[in-house]
């Protein structure tokens, strides 16, 4: 908070570009601030973080991350603590920049709305384990893991005015990662857990060329439950 935006951005830019002098680094910083939509970048670069709104600070962070020309940008909860309007602006910015700077983005978030807005490929994780992976269409329209289904059911749904809706929470608590479950990490909370789920780690079952899930319900010998589709156990 005691360093200006210029100080912070120039340090990062020069650390990754050893041959760049300070003047060139400042010019690069101004260019990146312009790219992310900061008004009057030549003036605002002299400002301190507290002189920016939350959304503008997030734009500065994105500008700083992109200033070194990365091929991959890792965004960990980029819209947390932002109101809905600013959140939409940041998502639009990230979608635009993804195309303009030709960079891929790994988005880490628990917000399903954000995922639906920006992601092409999705990996669902629980307890440090990949539970399901596929295209956005696969995951949103044909979830094949009880944890993924539980996430959807626990999200408030838009309904008619005055209509009361009961949320369906995921019962239980997250696992202790110091003493993880022997089998599937979600088995203690899963409404469909079988004996094998508690005792044996789950392999990934291939459902299509783009979709796979780690759930024993997908095994060819498992009992039929809901809309779960039998898959082919992945080898290796």
| pLDDT tens digits, one per residue of 16-50 | 999 999 999 999 999 999 999 999 999 999 999 99
What pTM was computed for the model?
0.84
Task: Decide if 186 contacts 126 (C-beta within 8 A).
Answer: yes
Task: Decide if 17 contacts 68 (C-beta within 8 A).
Answer: yes
pLDDT in the model for residue 145: 97
* Confidence check: pLDDT of 160 > 70: no
* Confidence check: pLDDT of 157 > 70: yes
pLDDT in the model for residue 162: 63
- Domain coordinates in residue numbering, the chain: 130-156+169-235
**Is beta strand 212-213 parallel, antiparallel or unpaired with respect to 129-135?**
antiparallel
Q: What is the DSSP-derived secondary structure letter of residue 73?
A: E
SS3 for 93?
helix
110-114, 143-147, 195-199: least confidently modelled range = 110-114
Phi, psi of 122 (to 5 degrees): -130, 135
Phi, psi of 52 (to 5 degrees): -110, 155
């Amino acid at each position: 908070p005691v360093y200006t935006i210029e100080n912070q951005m120039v340090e990062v830019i020069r650390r990754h570009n050893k041959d760049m002098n300070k003047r060139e680094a400042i010019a690069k910083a101004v260019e990146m601030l312009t790219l992310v939509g900061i008004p009057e970048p030549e003036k605002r670069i002299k400002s301190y973080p507290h002189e920016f709104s939350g959304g503008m600070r997030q734009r500065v962070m994105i500008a700083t991350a992109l200033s070194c020309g990365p091929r991959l940008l890792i965004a960990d909860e980029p819209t947390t603590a932002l109101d809905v309007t600013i959140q939409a602006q940041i998502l639009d910015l990230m979608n635009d920049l993804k195309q303009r700077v030709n960079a891929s983005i790994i988005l880490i978030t628990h917000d399903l709305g954000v995922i639906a807005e920006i992601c092409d490929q999705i990996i669902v994780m629980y307890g440090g384990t990949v539970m399901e992976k596929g295209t956005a269409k696969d995951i949103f329209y044909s979830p094949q893991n009880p944890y993924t289904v539980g996430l959807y059911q626990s999200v408030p749904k838009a309904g008619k005015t005055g209509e009361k809706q009961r949320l369906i929470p995921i019962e239980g608590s997250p696992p202790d990662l110091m003493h993880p479950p022997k089998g599937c990490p979600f088995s203690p909370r899963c409404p469909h857990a079988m004996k094998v789920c508690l005792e044996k780690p789950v392999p990934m079952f291939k459902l299509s060329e783009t979709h796979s899930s780690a759930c024993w319900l997908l095994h060819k010998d498992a009992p039929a439950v809901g809309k779960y589709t039998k898959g082919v156990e992945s080898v290796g």
